[in-house]
Amino acid sequence: MLTLKNKLKETMSNFANCDALYVNKQTISYEQLHNMSLFVASLLPQAATQKADRIALLSHRELTAYAAIIACVMTDKTYVPLNVKAPIERLVSMLLTAQINTLVVSAQYQHLAQEIKTHLPVLELILLEESVLFQNASNNITVIKTAENLSNNIRYIMFTSGSTGKPKGVPISEGNLLAYLDFVVPYCALSADDRASQTFDLTFDLSVHDLFVTWLSGACLYVLPESALFSPGAFIKKHQLTAWFSVPSTGAIMQKFGMLKAHAYPSLKLSLFCGEALPTSMALAWQKSAPHSKVVNFYGPTEATIACGYFELPDDYTEQQVVPIGKAFDHMSFACSSSEELLIAGAQVTSGYLEATAEMNENFQEVITEQGKTVTWYHSGDKVTQHEEGYFIYKGRLDEQIKIQGYRVELPEIEAIAKAFLKNNLVKALVWPKDISSFNKSIFLFVQASKSEDTEQAIIEHMKNQLPHYMQPKKIIWLASMPLNLNGKIDRNALRAMLE
Amino acid sequence: MSFKEEAFYQFIMEKVSNKIGEAKAAALDENLNLIEHGILDSLDFISMLMELEMKFGLDLDFEDVDPSTFTSIQGLCLLLAGEVNATS
């Protein structure tokens, strides 16, 4: 079986003269991208030890990042993307959890990398400048010998919000990722004539789909500039994109601001949505706006590699207000537990979190089948029902995880940080509006204590130092007493009523 | 600047000040792309647009607008002013 690096090498040479990447108003061919990534590979540590195998990446969606990711694949390194907007303390904690000694940083974030290094002096920084990549765009560096066999099996590590107050690292192996790509690349059926969107932040695992589905197909990846992300209509038209992939929130924003008019995007032939519930009304508006496109809802947690279920929107679908999760990819399995939780098994499920405690790994449960085989079921926390035709319908969460524009947020993580800082256990975080199709959700933090300006400033500052921007509460509401329900628990409905 | 444009300007400056402080906001280049330079993230920007719509009774339409033209303080003021002129 071909490894990912060998598959990539094949397309890089088969499509050498085709466009691979459009980023920051520049078009890069496969040959150039290949050469640039070999140059980056020559800068990476050569030893094959765990510490040398993991490469953190501090970069935005820019050329240096794409070249570095390919360099990691080509040299069997694990790439660990870091969010440049995340607080330093959070980044340092991720680097420690993943035991990383090497940080590849693009020139514009050099100061941030230096600041991280003051906390982690052992960290080796590798600075990448776009101009240097261009100088190496036509050099074919052959000194990089890539072994036939894989020396390291983990392709990437992504961090997600953890309910205990610390982000969880999810390692995805070569086998996990190939299982995804072997199904999804033929499903998307892109070719050298296609132009595919890149909207996801590199710290969001859906970006992995963008990169490898596009590059294993010989298509061109179009990176949307930051300011086009909430208003992408003009970009799709200008570049005649043929494949789209975003969170449903992006579509909902487009619908809100007049960008989903009928027949607006005739060039699109495939539109994928993933990361949060897909409102049917938006999906139907998208379908009318992109009349030649298939509209597909992808579903899946980071722990099961990008996505593992899909539902193709039928014409004039009206049955549910939210587009169903659908059925599992052919090589994956879905089951519904007695508590209506969706369980996931198959080759895409990770072997477990980094540095996991027994409590963290409770989500993975081994079951011995009648044939004596051991199967690991991942407990998704998503509440579902099964339609008579076999597909699954999303009904909500069984825990307090929410999505903010596709970003997974564990409300207890925010509460844990606030409780520890305020030394007060009467703290509750809520999301509002609660409506599943709302794209401008915010987090509100309720605290039972008398308000003091100093404390409020201090807690806001502390949250900024601990949490990424999408997890920071929009407002703190100080209450004389926390409303309780009949069981003596904090009454979320009563709190929500205060926000109405 | 008309009364309406002045009101848009005040409203946007207030949001930017909330985010980065009054002194920094006052010193900003009015043509700076607020999103690309990390002054506001896209969530902040959308909330601001929704509040602007509510407050001024607008119905914004960005179908063919290049977003980089209205992600600066001045660009957004001009876009909003244009919107008012188009509907009034």
Cβ–Cβ below 8 Å for A231 and B61: no
Query: Taking CB atoms and an 8 Å cutoff, what residues of chain A touch B33?
Result: 227
Residue B88 has pLDDT above 80, yes or no: no
Determine the average pLDDT of the residues in A345-374.
91
Q: Does B67 touch chain A (CB under 8 A)?
A: yes
Rounded CA gap, A244 and A268, in Å?
7
| Domains in chain A, CATH or no CATH each | 1-7+17-152 (3.40.50.980), 163-399 (3.40.50.12780), 404-499 (3.30.300.30)
Residue bearing the bigger pLDDT, B41 or A106: A106
Rounded CA gap, A420 and A28, in Å?
49
Instruction: Give residue A357's pLDDT band: very low, low, confident or very high (50, 70, 90).
Output: confident
Instruction: Give residue A422's pLDDT band: very low, low, confident or very high (50, 70, 90).
Output: very high
Query: Taking CB atoms and an 8 Å cutoff, what residues of chain B touch A407?
Result: none
What's residue B64's pLDDT? 83
The total number of structural domains that make up chain B: 1
What's residue A146's pLDDT? 61
Q: What is the 3-state secondary structure (H, E, C) of A34-55?
A: HHHHHHHHHHCCCCCCHHHHEE
Residue A297 has pLDDT above 90, yes or no: yes
Structure tokens at A287: 């379908």
Find how far residue A334's CA is from the centre of its chain.
21
Residue A319 has pLDDT above 50, yes or no: yes
Q: pLDDT tens digits for A246-281?
A: 999 999 999 989 999 999 999 999 999 999 999 999
Q: pLDDT tens digits for A179-218?
A: 999 999 999 999 999 999 999 999 999 999 999 999 999 9
Residue carrying the six token digits 């939780």? A341
Instruction: Give residue A312's pLDDT band: very low, low, confident or very high (50, 70, 90).
Output: very high
Q: Are A361 and A352 in contact (CB under 8 A)?
A: yes
Residue carrying the six token digits 């090497």? A102
Residue A183's nearest CA partner among A317, A307, A1 is A307
Cβ–Cβ below 8 Å for A469 and B41: yes
- Please state whether A326 falls in left (phi above 0), alpha (psi between -120 and 50) or beta: left
Rounded CA gap, A223 and A469, in Å?
22
Q: How far is A326 from chain B (nearest CA, A)?
A: 29
Q: Which residues, including other chains, have CB under 8 Å from residue A179's CB and lie 6 or more apart?
A: A305, A331, A332, A346, A347, A348
What's residue A121's pLDDT? 96
What's residue A99's pLDDT? 94
Determine the average pLDDT of the residues in A26-33.
97
What's residue A166's pLDDT? 82
Instruction: Please provide the average confidence, as pLDDT, over all residues in chain A.
Output: 93
Rounded CA gap, A171 and A303, in Å?
8
Residue carrying the six token digits 């570095």? A68
What's residue A98's pLDDT? 94
| Rounded alpha-carbon distances, angstroms, from residue A61 to A50, A147, A216, B50 | 26, 29, 19, 27
Determine the average pLDDT of the residues in B48-64.
88
Cβ–Cβ below 8 Å for B43 and A404: yes
Which one-letter DSSP state was computed for residue B68? G
Task: Supply the range of the domain harboring residue B46.
Answer: 3-87
Q: Does A22 touch chain B (CB under 8 A)?
A: no
Q: Are A178 and A191 in contact (CB under 8 A)?
A: no
Domain with residue B69: its CATH number is: 1.10.1200.10
Q: pLDDT tens digits for B4-29?
A: 788 899 999 998 998 888 888 889 99
What's residue A492's pLDDT? 87
Q: Are A254 and A232 in contact (CB under 8 A)?
A: yes
Residue bearing the bigger pLDDT, A329 or B40: A329
Determine the average pLDDT of the residues in A407-427.
91
Which residues of A, range 230-289, sit inside 8 Å of B by Cβ?
Answer: 230-234, 237, 253, 256-259, 261, 264
Query: Taking CB atoms and an 8 Å cutoff, what residues of chain B touch A470?
Result: 43
Q: pLDDT tens digits for A142-154?
A: 656 666 677 789 9
Residues in chain B: 88
